[in-house]
Amino acid sequence: MKVSFIQPAKQLSPYVALIWAFESRSGVPLADSRLIVPDGRAKIIVPYRNSLCAAVTTELLNAQEHHIFLVGIQTTPTTIASTATDTGTIGVELTPKGLYHMFKLSMQEITNRMISFEELFVPWGARLQTRIGDEDDPQEKITLLQRALTHLLEQNEKEYALLDHTLDLLAQTHGMIRVQELASHVGYTKRYVDRLFQEHIGVSPKSLASILRFQEVYQEWMQHPSPTIFRNQWPAYYYDQSHFIKEFKRFTGFTPQHYTTIVNEFGRAFSAKP
């Protein structure tokens, strides 16, 4: 199993956090928990060898080989699976800004869901899938995909200064800002800011802030696993231990103590982001 990271083109960098390529001779490892937790990023997934399956709450999402999918922001843990054969997948992780700067649809509709480019962009999406599918070299596939995203970005001339600024504040504070304070800072009502987020990002500012706080603790543990990490990290981001445990279980499906005993090298490989 190998995960490689590719930095996005400069003009895409405010909207694309990173690009990765996953390769495995025998699919997604079955002896692993194969758990991907919420990180506040929507994703574009391109399975170019073998298909992928994702279990999200009670729903099963199937990403077929040679198709391109837009996956909305995840608010619950996801388990990934595939058949045990040669597998290759490209992933583009979008910043929240990337969603509304590139795609013109209600983001609430794809939270914890996915939609194909073929359905989103008829007939352009189908042609793009064919072009990318015809390329043998994964790097060439990524080049074509980045050109397509640049095209989508250039097509959308609408300004989103308010949303951009609000997201910057959330990121700068690592989610440690109350929604009422956030709304007051940008000069709009909490209700208006909530509506903007639900429509253009797919989750409320409160939900996104919760994910950002969780990621601060989770990433530290994934990169430096130690029994003391959770105990030392949570006080900076949570009111008390019970609050931390509740949020951790919400985003992973496990208590922190239980999570330290499971094997999730698949998830760890994706957490080693540059």
The alpha helices in the chain, defined as continuous H runs, are 96-102, 117-120, 124-134, 138-155, 161-172, 179-186, 190-200, 205-223, 229-233, 241-252, 256-259, 265-271
Fold of 2-155: Jelly Rolls (2.60.120)
108/92 Cα distance (integer angstroms): 20
Quote the pLDDT of residue 274: 60
Q: Are 80 and 122 in contact (CB under 8 A)?
A: no
Cα–Cα dist 172/168, whole Å: 6
- Check residue 27 and give its pLDDT: 95
pLDDT of residue 112: 94
Please report, for residues 46, 66, 226, 241, the alpha-carbon distance to residue 63 in angstroms, rounded to integers and kept in the order given.
Answer: 8, 9, 35, 38
Report residues of the chain scoring pLDDT below 50: none
Query: How many CB atoms sit inside 10 A of residue 5's CB?
Result: 14
CA separation for the pair 17, 95 (Å, rounded): 6
**Sequence ranges of the domains in the chain:** 2-155, 161-271
Contact 44, 92 (CB under 8 A): yes
User: Rounded CA gap, 197 and 96, in Å?
Assistant: 10
pLDDT at position 265, please? 86
CB atoms under 10 Å from CB of 162, counted, come to 14
Task: Kindly report, residue by residue over 151-186, the tens digit of the pLDDT.
Answer: 999 998 788 999 999 999 999 999 999 999 999 999
- Give me the pLDDT at residue 273, please: 62
What is the C-alpha to C-alpha distance for residues 86 and 23, in angstroms, rounded to an integer? 8
Is the CATH number of domain 161-271 3.40.50.1480? no
Beta bridge partners of 112: none
CB 241 within 8 A of CB 3: no
User: Parallel, antiparallel, or unpaired: how do β-strands 114-116 and 69-71 relate?
Assistant: antiparallel
CA distance 163 to 123: 30
